[in-house]
Structure 1
């Protein structure tokens, strides 16, 4: 009897822990609507070139990911910077950790890939957990013109954060094709959802938000690539920022720079890399090369420090970026989580992360 009761309690606990999973998986895009994209064929989106999106058994194992690697976490608490005073002019970028950032141009703001949850997983109780707290509350954000999402992986599209932003802001959600199905599943109103294909733009509050190419994949369950992935150009007036999203290096960056640059700043994915998935996640050197192809500006590395998603040491991405940038004489800013960067006066890189590596 006791064993049976314990079993029932265990099953109840599992059911409770997984209660949000069906909603987390999001919605199913309408294939008819997706078919307007030349990248959509046979029910799925495709990169311009076919690339490997799943590591083979010889190059990577789940055991390595779960138990391998050294120094994958910071040795002590990551320093955080609290909210700064409002600004009404200039170009400022606040990095919150991983790929979440606020872009402010002359007092108007766009939020990219906001993830405020403790874990990046369909469950709030299992999966990769934060290595540092969120530096600001969502209530600390200024009024938002738009929330821009690069793709639907859990470390970039966070249901809980979306739920809060729908209640607390009037921002429109500007997303690649197919992600609207997830947002509708989460009760985001239709009039606050804009879905774009690559090379399409949307204007709001003086911003022009342009969906551009990336080399990656998508999926919140075993079904892959039924939604599109993207990089973004966020422009307002004479100022512009490029955000890479998740991507492998591909030869299209020069064309993006020629069409939409020059960029004042570039938010570039540099972490969570491995030779087994280099086609879909750039190494630090790949990121610097892509930054150079785009035409430069100020490089702000993202997609590192916050979640343990690869085998490399915690501080290695930025050490490698800094070394490469110094060798090439490029402009670099490495803010602490929560720190706002004045793009016109970013200050010197001080190596703050090295004491934690």
Structure 2
């Protein structure tokens, strides 16, 4: 203020500046909210009315939801306070302490008899008897319906989707965002001619995203499809049979849960078999799959995102080793265990390398051979793989 009480021009200038800055900040805030919300309805996928006509064909679908065979809870009763404490104090434990090494995939022109390339989390490219199957493909930076909110990728995708060789089939385990990604699906529709083989109900999401009907196959647990059935067998007469197997999990891309089915998968050629676990808690269904479909040359099993608050729907590393034995008819030493569902996204409250450390220790005790590829690395050896503890370098 001036001595005579008149307003100082500098005060008026300051007030005007604050008004402009405030308006700009408000506009930026609105812009951020708009950007964060942009595309969410489409990314969430189809609604219940579109899903239900297919879902009701299953005996596992009751009162508008799918159900696990074994009693299962997404969250243990009474764990709310511990969960809140973990969110406040342990949410950063799953972040990698250093750069995660990548390998640029070196893929042969012709698919091998048996190989797997891990792209991170549950995304793998499986080669079985000359066929290629892509599992739970996620190339996006976040696993969320929002481009600005949600778990962020901790390492780049090792290879652009456009550089992927021709794929014979894409299989999806369930509809959570870290396993079913709209933008990746859209690119695959444009870049590939592969068929999408999915659990019941997920076809509605794919149709919502303009996937052609003739490229969608929906299966219930214990049902199969062969590529020859789809007119996609090799010219040499060999075939690939993909079987939808029981998992113990849940589904949902919004507030409503379990409107679509979740699954694991058996991929069987004339000479080799691979089991893709996707995302699941430990279940007696592994023993049943081993008896009916095994043994398996490679098991791809989740080892991360476990917690005492949700033991029914996510395996811990020791359970993954036990599941490998179940899938191989009790023989822990048969085949190769390759861990998935760890390292790429921070989805739980354990340390970044804890899952693989615990898995390796349990596998050593059980006599189970394991291979822990770096993101982008292709494992193509049968028997004892090269032992590389690369994750220890990241954790130093």
| TM-score, normalised by the number of residues in structure 1 | 0.96
The answer to whether the Cα contact below 8 Å between 1:69 and 1:313 also exists between their aligned partners in 2 is no
The superposition leaves residues 264-305 of structure 1 with CA deviations (integer Å, 9 ceiling, x where unpaired) of 100001101001011000010111111111114110010001
The superposition leaves residues 68-98 of structure 1 with CA deviations (integer Å, 9 ceiling, x where unpaired) of 1564222221111112141443201000111
Partner of 2:62: 41
In 1, the alpha carbon distance for the partners of 2:193 and 2:84 equals: 41
Q: 2:86 aligns with which of 64, 80, 91?
A: 64
Partner of 1:12: 31
In 1, the alpha carbon distance for the partners of 2:188 and 2:212 equals: 12
Is 1:73 the counterpart of 2:92 in the alignment?
A: no
In 2, the alpha carbon distance for the partners of 1:107 and 1:140 equals: 19
The superposition leaves residues 15-37 of structure 1 with CA deviations (integer Å, 9 ceiling, x where unpaired) of 12211101011002432321111
Q: How far does residue 52 in structure 1 lie from its aligned partner after superposition? A: 0.8
Partner of 2:134: 111
Q: How far does residue 331 in structure 1 lie from its aligned partner after superposition? A: 1.1
In 1, the alpha carbon distance for the partners of 2:77 and 2:42 equals: 30
Q: 2:281 aligns with which of 218, 230, 248?
A: 248
Q: 1:177 aligns with which of 194, 200, 213?
A: 200
The answer to whether the Cα contact below 8 Å between 2:172 and 2:198 also exists between their aligned partners in 1 is yes
Partner of 2:258: 225
In 2, the alpha carbon distance for the partners of 1:336 and 1:9 equals: 40
Q: 2:345 aligns with which of 284, 294, 307?
A: 307
Partner SS state of residue 198, structure 2? strand
Check 1:48–1:324 CA distance in 2 against 1; reply closer, same or farther (3 A cut): same
Partner SS state of residue 309, structure 2? helix
Provide the aligned C-alpha RMSD in A: 1.7
In 2, the alpha carbon distance for the partners of 1:66 and 1:267 equals: 32
Check 1:88–1:188 CA distance in 2 against 1; reply closer, same or farther (3 A cut): closer
In 1, the alpha carbon distance for the partners of 2:79 and 2:93 equals: 23
Partner of 1:150: 173
Q: How far does residue 62 in structure 1 lie from its aligned partner after superposition? A: 4.1
Is 1:83 the counterpart of 2:110 in the alignment?
A: no
Partner of 1:54: 75
In 2, the alpha carbon distance for the partners of 1:186 and 1:210 equals: 24
In 1, the alpha carbon distance for the partners of 2:348 and 2:307 equals: 7
| TM-score, normalised by the number of residues in structure 2 | 0.86
The structure whose Rg is larger is 2
The answer to whether the Cα contact below 8 Å between 1:298 and 1:343 also exists between their aligned partners in 2 is no
The answer to whether the Cα contact below 8 Å between 2:51 and 2:260 also exists between their aligned partners in 1 is no
The answer to whether the Cα contact below 8 Å between 1:265 and 1:343 also exists between their aligned partners in 2 is no
Moved more, 305-314 or 294-303: 294-303
Partner of 2:215: 192
The answer to whether the Cα contact below 8 Å between 2:118 and 2:125 also exists between their aligned partners in 1 is yes
Is 1:270 the counterpart of 2:303 in the alignment?
A: yes
Q: 2:315 aligns with which of 282, 293, 318?
A: 282
Partner of 1:126: 149
- Structure 1: where are the runs of 5+ without partners? none
Is 1:99 the counterpart of 2:99 in the alignment?
A: no
In 1, the alpha carbon distance for the partners of 2:216 and 2:320 equals: 30
Partner of 2:378: 340
In 1, the alpha carbon distance for the partners of 2:64 and 2:92 equals: 40
Q: How far does residue 8 in structure 1 lie from its aligned partner after superposition? A: 4.3
In 2, the alpha carbon distance for the partners of 1:5 and 1:82 equals: 44
Q: How far does residue 247 in structure 1 lie from its aligned partner after superposition? A: 0.9
The answer to whether the Cα contact below 8 Å between 1:65 and 1:310 also exists between their aligned partners in 2 is no
Check 1:293–1:117 CA distance in 2 against 1; reply closer, same or farther (3 A cut): same
